[in-house]
């Protein structure tokens, strides 16, 4: 059975960067192949991983809904073909992008078929990493029904921690079977003050650790270099790997 890890957090917290570092960590520890799932409507995990996206599952849903299934081909064969085309293969990991949320109309049949094929696909990977937006509906609707670890990413601000608490509550309200939730505070410049620690304790969040602000991450992003290729001597990589060691071992 696959071990699934989902990441969520408000925009600008570096959630996708940490998703990439988690995939880097799993590969470096021999926990591969990893299935990376980009379930953020603003999909850019591929840039962090340094791969190109050819197709998305959202496009497959649209084509089926509009009746663009080739003559003589059944819908399930069509969706299986589209799912295969949407998988981007790389060294140590594969990536699949969910795509934009559905538009008006009923997507029940397409969603049902995709859920079945995704379930078969995920069984081929020991680890699944899902980069998710603040809302968790993508996970409950189209990907695995069980999330072993939910990593909630925040920046060191009151507003960021309040958003993290809301995400934690939302995840608990959805039928996705979260094993445990952990908070990672990213882009930290100085030790957390008592006020922020108080918010974390009050909201019942479990702090897994902090990741310092790292100019190397900024430089990689500025020059369009995939952050999965960051050197392990980077302060952000070292801190992230230490956190992953503590929660996955």
What ranges do the domains of the chain cover?
3-248
Topology of domain 3-248, CATH: Rossmann fold (3.40.50)
Lowest-confidence range among 41-50, 124-133, 144-153, 179-188?
A: 144-153
Q: In this structure, how many other beta carbons lie within 10 angstroms of the beta carbon of residue 80?
A: 18
Query: What tens digit of pLDDT does each residue of 97-117 get?
Result: 887 766 665 545 555 665 676
Residue 126: per-residue pLDDT: 94
Please compute the mean of the pLDDT values over residues 28-45 and round it to a whole number: 90
Which residue matches tokens 């930290």? 188
Residue 228: per-residue pLDDT: 96
Indicate the DSSP class of residue 233: T
Terminal-residue alpha carbon distance, the chain: 17
Selection from 31, 20, 35, 27 nearest residue 117 by Cα: 35
Please compute the mean of the pLDDT values over residues 93-99 and round it to a whole number: 89
């Amino acid at each position: 059975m696959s071990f699934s890890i989902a990441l969520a957090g408000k925009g600008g917290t570096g959630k996708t960067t940490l998703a990439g570092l988690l995939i880097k960590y799993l590969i470096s520890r021999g926990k591969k192949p990893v299935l990376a799932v980009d379930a953020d409507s603003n999909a850019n995990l591929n840039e962090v991983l340094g791969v190109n996206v050819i197709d998305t599952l959202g496009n497959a849903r649209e084509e089926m809904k509009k009746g663009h299934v080739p003559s003589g081909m059944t819908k399930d064969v069509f969706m299986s073909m589209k799912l295969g085309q949407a998988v981007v293969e790389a060294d140590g990991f594969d990536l699949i992008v969910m795509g934009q949320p559905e538009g008006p109309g009923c997507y029940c049949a397409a969603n049902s078929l995709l859920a079945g094929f995704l379930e078969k696909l995920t069984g081929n990977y020991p680890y699944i990493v899902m980069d998710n937006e603040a809302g968790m509906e993508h996970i409950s609707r189209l990907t695995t029904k069980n999330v072993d670890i939910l990593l909630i990413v925040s920046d060191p601000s009151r507003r960021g921690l309040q958003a993290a608490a809301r995400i934690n509550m939302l995840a608990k309200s959805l039928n996705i079977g979260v094993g445990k939730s952990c908070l990672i505070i990213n882009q930290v410049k100085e030790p957390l003050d008592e006020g922020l620690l108080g918010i974390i304790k009050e909201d019942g969040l479990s702090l897994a650790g902090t990741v310092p602000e790292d100019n190397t991450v900024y430089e990689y992003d500025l020059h369009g270099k995939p952050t999965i290729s960051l050197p392990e001597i980077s302060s952000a990589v070292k801190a992230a790997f230490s956190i992953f060691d503590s929660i996955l071992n």
